[in-house]
Structure 1
Amino acid sequence: MDIIIGFILSFAVLLLGVLKGWYIGFLLVLCLIIFSIISLRRGNDSKDIIYMAWDGGKKGLIVVKIFLLIGMVTAVWLTAGTVPAIVYYGMKLMNPRFYILFAFLISSTVSYMLGTSFGTVSTVGIALMVMAKGGNINPNLAAGAIISGCYFGDRTSPMSSCANLVSNLTETDLYPMLKKLLKTTILPFLIVGIAYLFLSFKNPLNIIGNEILSDISHTYTINIMVLLPAILMLVLSILKVDVKLSMIISIIIGIIVAKIVQQVPVVSLFKTIILGYNLEPSNPLVNIIKGGGMLSMMKAGFIVFISCAIAGVLNGIDLFNKVNDLFTKINSKSGLFLVTGAVSLFTAAFGGNQSIAIVMTSEIMKMKYEKLEIDKYQLASDIGNTAVILSPLIPWNISNIIPTTTLNVSSLGFIPYAFYLYFPFIINYIYLRISERNS
């Protein structure tokens, strides 16, 4: 009974905080305290609880390092003109008749290169939404395509903090895990692309965002050289170079490009790496091209650490074993995948953020996968197709609120058009069912 009360209180705290716009990291600390008190009531002493929290939290530390590198990469790419160039060339290539499809493809490309949905939506996402609103496109339709693309990178990019978190929690190697996930990505991606192509025919863009292109070309020097940090990162990922080393190399090249091409002072550049990138208030792109920095990612890293710590305490009071007892009758891959999806939706609704959904889904489901002798890479793939992309479907989840607030659209209205958030789950479930019937 006490654990049910704990979940209700924690859910109330998180929901109130999300609705009020409070920093969720502090709210998760309150949740950690709530579950620690429950653990004390169940006979564990304070030292045991601290150990359980630390044992869980340290699983997220490697991801915190990735977060800091992502913050540095984003800041350097913005300063060097890499991200503005991707936006510029992407919009240059765009055919207004196929705006919806291009919105999805451009967002997918940028999210793969940046490895962050929030970084994508706050750069190219805003630019694409400005075009949509100026071109008489349904904002919810445009947002659905943009947000779908933004979360493509969360599943598949070696720079993605989500992918690295899944890899760490499931004890799988990153690149083999991404290869496994790619097999469940291709068909849903093609089907989603076809759906957006069909919608593009019915919703052509009336005008093209020439003003944005002009503003970018006046603010930055745009040429092939500024794309080097992104191209290098892509090549290194194909060669399966360790992602941390790849990002460090990309940062170094980006710093050189920023200094030589954009003529950014060294002191200003290193300040940006720490604090993030911002243009002058008078610049028309000030609300479009911004972000990154180590400090911005420390908040996200803290959320991951506390989420893992909560999971550690819950595991210490044997909660996950008891939840697993509910799944005793599940003995097929399709059934297990369906349950994983249900658990991920519950944890995404309870935790209010993508990280805790990934952490708790992994901790709850890994024992069942082990009992059925299903390998860890399948677990990682299933989490990538559930917790990672289903979290934005919860209106009060941070992974929904930040993109929809950034794009200024309804937290519910875009969902019917965000095909990539649920098509991978549906298609892979159907595939597993068919495979089982034919075996």
Structure 2
Amino acid sequence: MKTERKDIPFLLAITPLVVMVIAMATTIVKFEGSPHIPLILGTVVAAFIAWQVGFRWNEIEKGIYEGIRLALPAIVIIIMVGLTIGAWIGGGIVATMIYYGLKIISPSLFLVSMTVICAIVALAIGSSWSTMGTIGVAGMGIGISMGIPAPVVAGAIISGAYFGDKMSPLSDTTNLAAGIAGADLFDHIKHMFYTTIPALVVALIVYTVMGRQYGKNSLNSENIDSVMKSLQDNFVISPWLLVIPLIVIVLVARKVPALPALTVGIILGWLCHIFVQGGSIGEAVNTLNDGFSIESGNELVDSLFNRGGIDAMMYTVSLTIVAMTFGGVLEHTGMLKAIVKKILTLAKTARSLVVTTIVSAFFTNVAAAEQYISVVLPGRMYSEAYREKNLHPKNLSRAVEDGGTVTSVFVPWNTCAVFIFATLSVHPFEYAPYAVLNYMGPIIAIIMALVGFKITYMTDEERAANDEKRKDQSLNV
């Protein structure tokens, strides 16, 4: 018979994380292996500790299933993006986007252009993943064809996509952060201007400077011509094919949910594969599952277009499930709560509380491997501390976004980084230095917090309204 369950002390709570990180570093750096096994090892250690302090196996198992359940929406999106990439490559849509991109976009301005385009699209549709899985894939093809290194291109795409996602009222993480903290959605977005706009400006300056070295004089125009000829030889290129991604963007901008909108894009791309590109029904169906396959004679084109389909996303899906079993055990057994509580003892002032929240959100990305948990857990744990210091809830909602939403891309086993690796084919360690917005945002937020800039306090009326809201929420639980 197990002893009565008790709170897990900090040293025990952090043990699974330490074991996982050491195993992860050894596996990835020394053996160049997959992060799956270190995450499973961390889960085993966490489960054993929870069992020792009094948790029954069915409770631990429930935590595992809850973690996986939380990841199910992300898994569905991953599969849908795999289908979209396969359908759009097979239908010639990606080839058309790359072809006209190579004709229109100046190499020296490509990084800035790509960042702005991704920012606008993500702002309109509220999804960084959908933006990277569609516009981003084409952008990788354009940039690489121009001779720009893949990690640099990926960094610009990620910066733009996450800016738009973070600032969009349609974004799930933006709504989640505001809701968890108890802030008005548009107050939350306005408050993020102070950290996110400067981060975007810095990113655009960096990309402008970097873009100079990729000017026309330094590029091999024969390489670009070869790519464009290969595209023309193997695909029907038509500006009408650009209508399909435009339809998807318009649908989501008109608040059609992401899954139905992507489904429309997949169906249209599949039909283009048959009726525009001349593929058979069997080829088009197989492309959706197995991905597109081409032997063009151009090595660069082959590397860009041999991808997509459900199969290509199974590594990502499996890693997402494994990561969420680890995060689920830590969350459900209170280990994350114990770690966050320990961190909270360092926050003595309003300024240090904001900094602590930002750091905690990033730490949660490392520990729980899921962007949503990095928003929910600190938002929930620090809510009372912000109230005690009379800080407006929008300070908390901005802090969890600055520390959680944008930093998820830097943790190789986090679901966001795994998705990017599967979609853009660039490892987080490679694109990290070039995802400028994603690390400048937290840095600027921390500096602003330390100097006390734009830390907003509640008025008496706002405090009373906040207390009433909290009371109503507690009655509804």
* Among candidates 411, 414, 417, match of residue 399 of structure 1: 417
8 A contact 2:115–2:156 mirrored in 1: yes
**Aligned match of 1:222:** 237
Check 1:378–1:309 CA distance in 2 against 1; reply closer, same or farther (3 A cut).
farther
Check 1:224–1:100 CA distance in 2 against 1; reply closer, same or farther (3 A cut).
closer
8 A contact 1:230–1:250 mirrored in 2: yes
8 A contact 1:58–1:305 mirrored in 2: no
**Aligned match of 2:19:** 9
Q: CA deviation at 1:156?
A: 3.6
**Cα distance in 2 between the residues matched to 1:360 and 1:194:** 32
Percent identity over the alignment?
A: 17
* Among candidates 62, 72, 89, match of residue 51 of structure 1: 62
Which one is further off, 415-424 or 313-322?
415-424
1:333-357 Cα deviation digits (max 9, x unpaired):
8655533432344455x55xxx805
**Aligned match of 2:315:** 299
Letter in 1 for 2:284: L
8 A contact 1:117–1:154 mirrored in 2: no
Check 1:225–1:406 CA distance in 2 against 1; reply closer, same or farther (3 A cut).
same
**Aligned match of 1:233:** 248
**Cα distance in 1 between the residues matched to 2:98 and 2:436:** 23
1:174-323 matches, cutoff 5 A: 184=193, 185-201=196-212, 204-206=215-217, 207=219, 208=221, 209-280=224-295, 282-284=297-299, 285-323=301-339
1:24-39 matches, cutoff 5 A: 24-39=35-50
1:91 aligns with 2:106: no
**Cα distance in 2 between the residues matched to 1:67 and 1:81:** 21
**Cα distance in 2 between the residues matched to 1:17 and 1:188:** 33
Q: CA deviation at 1:216?
A: 1.7
Q: CA deviation at 1:239?
A: 0.5
8 A contact 2:14–2:339 mirrored in 1: no
Q: CA deviation at 1:286?
A: 0.7
8 A contact 1:103–1:146 mirrored in 2: no
Letter in 2 for 1:92: K
8 A contact 2:399–2:445 mirrored in 1: no
**What's the TM-score, normalizing by structure 1?**
0.78
Letter in 2 for 1:362: V
Q: CA deviation at 1:203?
A: 5.7
1:107-149 Cα deviation digits (max 9, x unpaired):
667887862657777653254235236xxxxx5xx84354132
**Aligned match of 2:407:** 390
Letter in 2 for 1:368: M
1:2-23 Cα deviation digits (max 9, x unpaired):
4444222211222233233433
Partner-residue secondary structure (3-state), 1:132: coil
Q: CA deviation at 1:365?
A: 0.7
Partner-residue secondary structure (3-state), 1:63: helix
Which one is further off, 121-130 or 371-380?
371-380
Q: CA deviation at 1:222?
A: 1.4
1:150 aligns with 2:158: yes
Structure 2: gaps spanning 5 or more residues = 1-10, 459-477
**Aligned match of 1:136:** none
* Among candidates 66, 71, 79, match of residue 60 of structure 1: 71
**What's the TM-score, normalizing by structure 2?**
0.73
Which one is further off, 46-55 or 307-316?
307-316
8 A contact 1:156–1:181 mirrored in 2: no
8 A contact 1:233–1:250 mirrored in 2: yes
**Cα distance in 1 between the residues matched to 2:412 and 2:339:** 25
Check 1:118–1:11 CA distance in 2 against 1; reply closer, same or farther (3 A cut).
farther
8 A contact 1:166–1:358 mirrored in 2: no
Check 1:364–1:88 CA distance in 2 against 1; reply closer, same or farther (3 A cut).
same
8 A contact 2:378–2:400 mirrored in 1: no
Structure 1: gaps spanning 5 or more residues = 134-138
